[in-house]
Structure 1
Amino acid sequence: MAFTFTDIVAGYAALVATAVFFLELRRWVEDGPRLVMGVMSDAQMVGGAVDKKNEYFVLNAANAGNLPTTITHVVILDYGNRWNYLRGKPAWQAIIPRPTLTDNNSPPYVLRPGETWVGMVNKTANEELETRRANGWLYIGIYASHSRRCFGKLIKRKGV
């Protein structure tokens, strides 16, 4: 069976069309806001007139996507065990009403592409946070307008 020139061109066109389809599919999946987060678990403030006795959980959230999103609120979740974590059912949860030092960064906050937002929780003022942290399932997270789920990050146990 010999291939004609038309068959070769049709095969090439089918390959190119398939490649373009998969590139568009990839672009569609990756389009939108994409949050990248990090946590500092035992941060202290230095310099100026600050109380050096306080320790903070510091949450950094950056929008690595191509569309803005709005941070609606910051939460702390304690799952208690792996089963609760897998089901997405925290055993205890708390909302942080003012997670920043200034009111102009408090939620709701519009996080544009390429921007970073920093939130803080004073853990010294609440001893229960350290107790819950010791069990190893304490998460700090944010809710954003582009998704229904919480974007959480594990707060590692002290000394780990």
Structure 2
Amino acid sequence: MEASVVAAWWGAIIASVVLLWDIFKWFSEGARILVSAVPNMQMLNSLKGKLDDDKMIFVEVVNIGDLPTTITHLTIYQYSSFWDKLRNKRSNQSVIPMQGTGSELPYFLGPGARWVGRIDQSDVIDKFGKGKVFYCGVYHTFSKKPVASIVDLSKSVT
């Protein structure tokens, strides 16, 4: 093979790799949100040295992307069946207006930043029922769909 043919193939391979890398960067840029929701959390009353009786769902949101976003809503919702989940047809849904953590919504979440909120677990049990599975999610300005975490109260310790 001639040197010009080898150089042409080498250039084509490098250009293809660079194109694939640019496509990967394009899909991975922006705000990427991780949500975790942990039920059965209790506040430690430091004055009395014991746990409060009220249980809550602790929600943590982290932006692992490279662009900032603003969290606009904290929500909980439920699907009645797996088929409804595939079709995104929610049977119950609610917005949590007050989180009681000091960092109320809307909240600006920069790259690498963290937001925490809480939901009164007894209110969730009253709405959805004890032993049910539901989702806790946040809406943010970088996406039209909520980013959610599953919460299973059927495995909760009472």
**TM-score scaled by length of structure 2:** 0.90
Letter in 1 for 2:137: G
Q: What is aligned with 1:83?
A: 83
For residues 1-160 of structure 1, the aligned pairs below 5 Å read 3-48=1-46, 52-102=52-102, 105-125=103-123, 127-129=125-127, 131=129, 134-136=131-133, 138-159=134-155
Report if the CA contact (8 A) 1:123-1:130 is conserved.
no
Conservation of the 8 A alpha-carbon contact between 1:100 and 1:118: no
Q: Aligned with 2:152: secondary structure?
A: coil
Cα distance 1:6–1:123, how it changes in 2: closer, same or farther (>3 A)? same
Farther off after superposition, 110-119 or 78-87: 78-87
Task: Give secondary structure in 1 for the equivalent of 2:25.
Answer: helix
CA distance in 1, matches of 2:139, 2:100: 15
Between the aligned residues of both structures, percent identity stands at 25
Return 5+ residue gaps in structure 2 as ranges: none
Counterpart contact for 2:132–2:152, Cα < 8 Å: no
More strand by share: 2
- Alpha-carbon contact 1:79-1:92 (below 8 Å) kept: yes
Distance 1:99 1:130, change over 3 A: same
Cα distance per residue 1:86-135 (max 9 Å; x no partner): 11111111110012321xx111101100011111001134541461x523
> What is the TM-score when the length of structure 1 is the normalising length?
0.89
C-alpha displacement of 1:83: 1.4
8 Å CA contact retained: 1:80, 1:135: no
Could you report, residue by residue, the CA deviation over 1:21-51 in whole angstroms, capped at 9, with x for unpaired residues? 0001000000000011211111001133587
Q: Spell out structure 1 runs of 4+ moving beyond 3 A.
A: none
